[in-house]
């Protein structure tokens, strides 16, 4: 479970942390920087997941965020190379997920399944300072409201299967980050290992 707080105040994050929640997500680099600084002493074991759009000119700032655990929205070799170079300079390894646009919506970031396979192989075999830890998708709103089988989640599940066969990797080594407040139960049933929940815990964003 990753708790997404958006504009939620530090007090709520601290309460979740004290209750045992360690993973939190953020869409915006500036907010992530600010909150990570405020919480670094209060929540020393917090794990930040970045789930926003990646901009080349912001990567240096992003990798220096305190307790950055994973970037879930990697979607290009260019950005992978930027991240790998910066992590080399820092002498650390960064967890990354490949973002897949399973809904095929033009306004959403992410790759096709075929492109994601190629990028995942590139990260795994060419980026020594990046650790491929899974695939991520943001499904379409319409599909997420249905209570039945979700084809977009199924696509991500099958992508992991295909990649693991190709690269001889155990499926248990790669996470599937899919499912949000309105569809996380369906996502879990269809194999999600990471769900991103915000409004179900904190209420709708103002």
- CATH number, domain containing residue 179: 3.20.20.10
pLDDT in tens, 37-63: 999 999 999 999 999 999 999 999 999
Q: How far apart are CA 89 and CA 31, in angstroms?
A: 24
Structural domain for 153, as ranges:
2-202
Contact 10, 204 (CB under 8 A): no
Following DSSP, what letter does each residue of 32-74 receive, concatenated?
A: HHHHHHHHTTT-TT-EEEE-S---GGGHHHHHTSTTEEEEEEE
Q: How far apart are CA 37 and CA 135, in angstroms?
A: 28
Q: How far apart are CA 153 and CA 188, in angstroms?
A: 10
Q: Count CB-CB contacts under 10 A for residue 20.
A: 6
Name the residue with tokens 């999600």.
192
pLDDT in tens, 64-101: 999 999 999 999 999 999 999 999 999 999 999 999 99
> With 90 as the cut, is the pLDDT of residue 22 above it?
yes
The count of domains in the chain is 1
Rg for the chain (alpha carbons), in Å? 16
> With 60 as the cut, is the pLDDT of residue 7 above it?
no
* pLDDT of amino acid 62: 98
* pLDDT of amino acid 106: 86
* pLDDT of amino acid 139: 82
* pLDDT of amino acid 202: 60
Q: By 3-state DSSP, what share of the chain in percent is helix, strand and coil, each rounded to 5?
A: 45, 20, 35
pLDDT in tens, 99-155: 999 999 888 899 999 999 999 999 999 999 999 999 999 988 777 667 789 999 999
Q: For residue 97, give Cα distances in angstroms to 37, 147, 156, 182.
A: 24, 27, 12, 22
């Amino acid at each position: 479970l990753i708790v997404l707080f958006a504009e939620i105040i530090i007090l709520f994050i601290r309460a979740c942390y004290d209750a045992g929640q360690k993973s939190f997500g953020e869409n915006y680099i500036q907010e992530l920087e600010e909150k990570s600084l405020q919480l670094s002493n209060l929540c020393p074991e917090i794990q930040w997941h970045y789930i926003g759009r990646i901009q080349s000119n912001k990567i240096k700032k992003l990798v220096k965020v305190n307790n950055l655990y994973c970037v879930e929205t990697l979607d290009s070799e260019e950005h992978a190379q930027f991240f790998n170079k910066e992590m080399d300079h820092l002498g650390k390894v960064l967890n990354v997920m490949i973002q897949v646009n399973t809904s095929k919506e033009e306004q959403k970031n992410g790759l096709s399944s075929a492109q994601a396979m190629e990028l995942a192989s590139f990260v795994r075999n060419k980026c020594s300072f990046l650790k491929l830890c899974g695939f991520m998708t943001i499904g379409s709103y319409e599909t997420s409201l249905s209570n039945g089988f979700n084809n977009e989640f199924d696509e991500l599940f099958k992508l992991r299967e295909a990649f693991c066969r190709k690269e001889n990797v155990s499926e248990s080594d790669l996470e599937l980050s899919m499912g949000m407040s309105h569809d996380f139960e369906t996502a879990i049933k269809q194999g999600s290992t990471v769900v991103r929940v915000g409004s179900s815990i904190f209420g709708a964003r103002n």
